[in-house]
Structure 1
Amino acid sequence: MVRITPFAVEQWMDAYETTPGVLNVAETCAASVSIDDLVTMSSGPAKSPIDTSIKLTYGAIPGSLTLRERIAAHCSTEGVQLAPEDVIVTQGAIGANFLALYTLIGPGDHVICVYPTYQQLYDTPRSLGAEVTLWKLKKENGFVPDVDELAGLIKPNTKMIIINNPNNPTGAPIPSSVIGRIAKFAEENGIILFSDEVYRPLFHGGASGGDHTEVPRPVTTLDYRKTIATGSMSKGYALAGIRVGWIASRDRSIISAIMLARDYTTISVSQIDDQIARFALSPEVKPALVQRNIRLARTNAAILKDFMDRYKSVCSWVEPKAGTTAFIRFNDKNGDPVDDVKLCLDLLEKAKLLFVAGSRCFGGDADFKGYVRMGYVCETDVLVDGLKELGAYIDKSHQMEGLGISKAASKVRNWRRPCKLEIELADHYLAKIYSSGSIVHGRLAISPTADICASSITISLDGITTIRSVGQQLTTTTTHRFLKIDFISPDILQLLGTTLTKGHSYRIPFQFTLPHQLDSTACTHDAVSAAVTGKHLLPPPTVGREWDRGDMSPGVVEVEYGINACVISTPSLDTAYSQESTAKRTIRFIPRLSESPPLHVSLANTAIQAARHQISSEQPAQAFVWVHQRRRIAT
């Protein structure tokens, strides 16, 4: 019988993450995104990534060629390109790790594994009969592996060195120079180098990160070919709901061996998951998705660093520079580590705040006393609320009292939006309908809630489409921004970089002319003539679900126009992070030239109402096709 050690971190999460009302700052995925979010991020035509006409067979057994090509690109650099044949698609990174270890490690083998790390990476080899030596990472070395220690850890039967880059739970990246030295040592001794890279590409540099932040090379691009990288869509790509992971290696003997073992664990991954994953990794979506997650990581890292600086007498860390996790040690008033398990359970009971206990989940109840793991790349509001609760708890805690931190706690609790925004439209009323060439003008009123310095002020006219399909089993919604016109004026430029004072109101006049035609890039069809393209570029009329929008089957299609405003403040003395305020006003727009007037549905016409209900609830796909057929006839 195989000896399986309980997987501490997974059991901890299973036991506590569903606590009602919990503030979950233990989750380690970047704040999750939806399919709608992916569609909105796309720079290509607005369409759902899921082809609902495909028969749901097993699909491509190794994963679709397109998906494997895009995973190969993820594991490549400009100088070293992987092929789709170098990639094995799995069910998540946890499946990838297990499959690789199950294939390559057995009784009599010796494995060196960094520590702390994800428990699976060292306890799975143990369960397979291998001897494991833990390569302990030191806080004073920034939790970066000391390569000089490898010579004292190696044995004649050492088969594999396992690293984790970026590291979970510390958030420490391994620089390319260190990875190169590890690979050289492995090559000189004929050892496989295995790298769990599930948090790639989140090398964000922390609170001070920027374009200069180093992005270490994937191990699959090193000169040494006996390397393996695993990863998934869950952490760095914020898509844990699709169970897609991978194994990548340029050593075809390793890939062939793992593929043989894969038949015993995985026939294929879900076709639906495959479609979503390859859409997220597409050139149209991936850059925006990665930038969104890196921006979120940097914003939240700054908030957390601000908290840590103010509570440095209570807690300490090595500031994370990559991934989504921070490993924080809490001390009592004597400077000794607290009981982290009791601390986490007490926080859960009294503050509904969920952390992961470091000693229980990463130290086998022996190491890392006083440490907790935090997943800080959650929604910013969740992090802020969690830190408020943590600050209040520390202030009230008997074992940590007398540390003079009440002022710091109050600053964390005072987190707020930097200002109130109101969009004032001139010559406007609720039922007003604008047309092509109409002028939309008014003022943006900015009322700071504290003295702020505005780093960005934007006012834009936007057009957004929403398509909703209601089926018997599944409802899908996709959105696309087809129009964006930014307003720039001396009034905006004059306010940037200056102090906006609390209690004052600043008004910026704006004016937009509603367009007769969209930008030429809005039509990607292979049209037979310029006239057809011109018809396609006519802006759609406002339709949808708001007041008096009973037109064009609102259960299927919504087109919304509006004025959007955003003010972003620079970090202040009280906060080390930027803050954002937004406002929105919708308008109704019917172009002078469009395919045809909107189909109005009178509330008194029960026959049409019944037909509309049938279209929107039972046959949304057919209704949408009909709309497009009408467009083709018109053009």
Structure 2
Amino acid sequence: MEIANFGVEEWLNTWEKKAKYDISQSSIEALTLEELIGLDGTSVTEYFEALSKQPLDYGWIEGSDTFKELVASLYQTVSPDSILQTNGATGANLLALFALIEPGDHVVSMLPTYQQLYDIPKALGASVDFVKLKEEEHWQLDLDVLKSKIKPNTKMICLNSANNPTGTLLDKATMSAIVEMAKEVDAYIVVDEVYAPLTDEGEFISIADLYEKGIATNSLSKTYSIPGIRIGWTASSSEIAEHFRKYRDYTMICGGVIADELAVHALKNKDKILSRNRKIVADNLAILKEWVEQEPRVSLVTPHYVSTSFIKLDIPQDDYSFCIDLLEETGVLLVPGTAFGLPQHARLGYCCREETLRKGMALLSKYLRKFD
């Protein structure tokens, strides 16, 4: 099977460990193991003493009953039996696409978005049409353009909300309109919801609660700040979940008993995590906006209280070589927009430690002065 190189992951695999000031990532500042365990007052010693007799067998194949119940509670209409644990949201996306896409199918996706959502369908033999998000339209999905791309044989619409890398949201009204389009051709809708916004503004709603052929993919990596445990899930109807089970057996056995326990602990304490992360997002977003206002070579469509932002660079150099030069000369890491198919931009992950963000942006501004 031929598949394109994964632009973002290839970039990070090459460069992220060389960064001194990493402002490229799309997660909210990761919790340490001690911080995660201590959310309810438990110490690491107490927690792992209780786990020390746990056999390191395969454990729960689809995720423990408690995990599934806690994840299902994040939705309005999804039952625990319809939650399938995966290896992060990347595993959830892979499962949904592997299970549903066949050669000759037609898929509509947005651009930019997470590369899995269009290059896996292409590799599986589907044709893919794009709705290109435009900066001058604040990176919003044009519903008229989407409607024009849907064909009688469209099998799936693949979306990302909030969007990676722009941080813009598909609100409830927009999602409802997309569902009506999908119903006309009986298409599935897969939405990578790993960047669920940390605000009630904008009327976010999961596709799994809106459409019987909707599949939500998500994980604990971004909003919940624990990418290192690699736990995600699919949320769907019971019929779709049953279809997925056969394909899941070929892509993943289990998440592991320790990872499942940590995921359950995080979900039981989700309110504390979300409270922490709302503050990080709000505080750091204010810092980012103030910096953009003062930096003449950078512009930004403000992200919707999620952990990723996409700046535009006004520079006489291509973004890819600029990001390499910036890293080598200052230690500051961004992800070039070229990795998302949009040159002269860069993903700036502003939800790192405040001192890292401030220092990284200060060095970036200083470096940009060479173009003045």
Band of TM-score, shorter chain: over 0.9
Is 1:193–2:181 an aligned residue pair? no
Q: Work out whether residues 203 and 215 of structure 1, in 8 Å CA contact, stay in contact via their aligned partners in 2.
A: no
Deviation at 1:43, TM superposition (A): 6.7
Is 1:216–2:187 an aligned residue pair? no
Q: Which residue of 1 aligns with 2:312?
A: 329
Deviation at 1:203, TM superposition (A): 3.0
Q: Matches of 2:64 and 2:140 in 1, distance apart? A: 36
Q: Which is richer in helix?
A: 2
- Once the two structures are superposed, residues 455-509 of structure 1 have per-residue CA deviations (whole angstroms, 9 ceiling, x without a partner) of xxxxxxxxxxxxxxxxxxxxxxxxxxxxxxxxxxxxxxxxxxxxxxxxxxxxxxx
Alignment of 1:23-422 (within 5 A): 23-42=21-40, 47-48=46-47, 51-74=51-74, 76=75, 80-200=76-196, 202-204=197-199, 213-222=201-210, 224-250=211-237, 252-282=238-268, 285-311=269-295, 313-332=296-315, 338-359=317-338, 361-363=339-341, 368-395=342-369, 397=370, 399=371, 401=372
- Once the two structures are superposed, residues 544-578 of structure 1 have per-residue CA deviations (whole angstroms, 9 ceiling, x without a partner) of xxxxxxxxxxxxxxxxxxxxxxxxxxxxxxxxxxx
Q: Work out whether residues 108 and 157 of structure 1, in 8 Å CA contact, stay in contact via their aligned partners in 2.
A: no
Q: Which runs of 5+ in 2 are unaligned?
A: none
Deviation at 1:15, TM superposition (A): 0.4
Q: Matches of 1:159 and 1:322 in 2, distance apart? A: 31
Q: Matches of 1:4 and 1:167 in 2, distance apart? A: 22
Alignment of 1:406-445 (within 5 A): none
Q: Work out whether residues 169 and 373 of structure 1, in 8 Å CA contact, stay in contact via their aligned partners in 2.
A: yes
* Structure (1 or 2) with the larger CA radius of gyration: 1
Letter in 2 for 1:73: S
Deviation at 1:373, TM superposition (A): 0.7
Q: State TM-score, norm by structure 1.
A: 0.57
Q: Work out whether residues 88 and 248 of structure 1, in 8 Å CA contact, stay in contact via their aligned partners in 2.
A: yes
Q: Which runs of 5+ in 1 are unaligned?
A: 205-211, 402-635
Deviation at 1:330, TM superposition (A): 0.9
Q: SS in structure 1 opposite 2:309?
A: strand
Q: Work out whether residues 26 and 349 of structure 2, in 8 Å CA contact, stay in contact via their aligned partners in 1.
A: yes
Q: Work out whether residues 301 and 310 of structure 2, in 8 Å CA contact, stay in contact via their aligned partners in 1.
A: yes
Q: Matched residues, percent identical?
A: 37
Q: Which residue of 2 aligns with 1:582?
A: none
Q: Work out whether residues 163 and 195 of structure 1, in 8 Å CA contact, stay in contact via their aligned partners in 2.
A: yes
Q: Which is richer in strand?
A: 1
Deviation at 1:35, TM superposition (A): 2.6
Q: Matches of 2:222 and 2:203 in 1, distance apart? A: 17
Deviation at 1:132, TM superposition (A): 0.4
Q: Which residue of 2 aligns with 1:507?
A: none
Q: Matches of 2:42 and 2:366 in 1, distance apart? A: 47
Deviation at 1:214, TM superposition (A): 3.0
Letter in 1 for 2:227: A
Higher relative contact order (CA 8 A, sep 6+): 2
Q: Matches of 1:45 and 1:299 in 2, distance apart? A: 28
Q: Matches of 1:345 and 1:136 in 2, distance apart? A: 27
**How many residue pairs get matched?**
370
Q: Matches of 1:256 and 1:81 in 2, distance apart? A: 16
Letter in 1 for 2:39: M
Q: Matches of 1:154 and 1:146 in 2, distance apart? A: 13
Q: Matches of 1:189 and 1:43 in 2, distance apart? A: 52
- Once the two structures are superposed, residues 279-323 of structure 1 have per-residue CA deviations (whole angstroms, 9 ceiling, x without a partner) of 1001xx110101111110111111110000011x31112111132
Q: SS in structure 2 opposite 1:18?
A: helix
- Once the two structures are superposed, residues 344-376 of structure 1 have per-residue CA deviations (whole angstroms, 9 ceiling, x without a partner) of 0111111111001102x111xxxx221011111
- Once the two structures are superposed, residues 170-228 of structure 1 have per-residue CA deviations (whole angstroms, 9 ceiling, x without a partner) of 0111111111111111112211111000112x334xxxxxxx62340111111x21100
Q: Matches of 2:43 and 2:325 in 1, distance apart? A: 50
CA RMSD of the aligned region, Å? 1.6
